[in-house]
Amino acid sequence: MKTAITELIGIKYPVIQGGMAWVAEYHLAAAVSEAGGLGIIGAASAPPEVVREQVRKARELTDKPIGVNVMLLNPNAEEVARIVVEEGVQVVTTGAGSPAKFMDMWKKAGVKVIPVVASVAMAKMMERAGADAVVAEGMESGGHIGSATTMTLVPQVVDAVDIPVVAAGGIADGRGFAASFMLGAQGVQMGTRFVVAKESIVHENYKQKVIKARDIDSEVTGMSTGHPVRQIRNKMTREYLKLEKEGAPFEQLEYLTLGSLRKAVMDGDVVNGTVMAGQCAGLVTKEQTCKEIIEEVVRDGCALLKLPETDIAG
Ligand code: TUI
């Protein structure tokens, strides 16, 4: 299957794995890349040298292209941005802000830059700044989100820019894959479905929380703090939303979330921790290998799109 995204990155299938904080570490990223998609190491708030080590470990597991997601709220983002270049990482995606100030450095080094955007304005700005493609991410996604839905955002971004667009937010199976192409996207990014991959190191409790989640089991916390985050409803979200409704100070809300994602992902505390996942968690029903996930999504998607499956069979 050839699309502008497979050609740009040099991968077999137009499937990118989301750069999820704590979740997107080297085992998952390498497995996705080895299966023909683009695996991403989520730098999130990790110390820069840990990111370097993660890239090197992924390289021991696959010789295929690997990406790093630079989370722009990270005070160390600049150092991570440099490490991406030093380690010869082929692709960078970004989240939670504008990567404009790093763009020249990345472009000069030949890194393919694919910012994640949540609006048409940001997509246009990124195109002007030299982005190779954009991920248009709807509010169905897990984690930090914008306000437009995937269904409305993707075609508007496609109309607004000349670079390829990758759809994200709510995509977890062949139907979402096919729909994304109908909206004009040239690829998809999936996060939630990869959370439960066999190669994903997240705690079993977290995986079960995603697998058991139904359509309306996520909540958005932090609307009032300017950091809206979609996560699965639990004791943590109930307390947070109650405090937020009462107008609790920003510091108190931030304190509640301090280290809470780590608590859920690593310790399996899905009661007091933050279980970030998208609205498509209701579509995610079982643990599979990254290869099984990608091949199933692409095979089912291609059947719906009436595209030949030759690449998949081979
Ligand atoms: O970045 C994400 N998802 C994330 S980042 C993250 S770490 C975090 N945890 C708690 C609070 C805040 C962050 C968890 N999930 N997705 C990509 C994405 N980027 N969604 C929305 C945006 C975005 C938002 C604002 C992109 C650009 C932007 O620009 C703001 C501006 O105008 O500079």
Nearest Cα neighbor of 167 from 133, 211, 144, 218 is 133
Between the CA of 275 and the centroid of ligand 1 the distance, in Å, is 16
91-124 confidence digits (pLDDT tens): 999 999 999 999 999 999 999 999 999 999 999 9
Asked if residue 31 lies in contact with residue 291, where contact means CB atoms within 8 angstroms, the answer is yes
| Closest residue CA from atom 29 of ligand 1 | 97
- State which ligand 1 atom lies nearest to the alpha carbon of 95: 1
Pocket test for ligand 1, best of 144, 171, 257 (most atoms within 8 A of CB): 144
150-197 confidence digits (pLDDT tens): 999 999 999 999 999 999 999 999 999 999 999 999 999 999 999 999
| Closest residue CA from atom 11 of ligand 1 | 227
Proportion of the chain in helix, strand, coil states, percent, rounded to 5: 45, 15, 40
Between the CA of 120 and the centroid of ligand 1 the distance, in Å, is 15
| Pocket of ligand 1 from Cβ distances under 6 Å | 21, 44, 71, 73, 95-98, 116-118, 122, 137, 143-146, 227, 229
Between the CA of 202 and the centroid of ligand 1 the distance, in Å, is 21
Q: What is the pTM for the complete model shown?
A: 0.97
At 257, the pLDDT band (50, 70, 90 cuts) reads confident
Widest distance between CA atoms in the chain: 58
* Torsion angle (degrees, nearest 10) of CA 29, 32, 37, 39: 0
Nearest Cα neighbor of 255 from 244, 264, 246 is 244
DSSP state of 38: B
82-93 confidence digits (pLDDT tens): 999 999 999 999
| Closest residue CA from atom 9 of ligand 1 | 144
| Closest residue CA from atom 24 of ligand 1 | 96
Q: How far is CA 199 from CA 14, 25, 34, 63, 282, in A?
A: 20, 10, 12, 17, 20
- State which ligand 1 atom lies nearest to the alpha carbon of 143: 15
The confidence score (pLDDT) of residue 209 equals 98
CB atoms within 10 A of CB 172: 24
At 314, the pLDDT band (50, 70, 90 cuts) reads very low
Q: How far is CA 108 from CA 64, 69, 92, 102, 162, in A?
A: 21, 18, 13, 10, 21
Residue 310 pLDDT greater than 70, yes or no: no
| Closest residue CA from atom 13 of ligand 1 | 144
Between the CA of 81 and the centroid of ligand 1 the distance, in Å, is 16
Residue 52 pLDDT greater than 80, yes or no: yes
Between the CA of 96 and the centroid of ligand 1 the distance, in Å, is 2
Between the CA of 97 and the centroid of ligand 1 the distance, in Å, is 6
Mean pLDDT value of segment 8-17: 98
**Element holding 203 (H helix, E strand):** none
Q: Determine the Cα–Cα distance for residues 23 and 263; give it in Å rounded to an integer.
A: 12
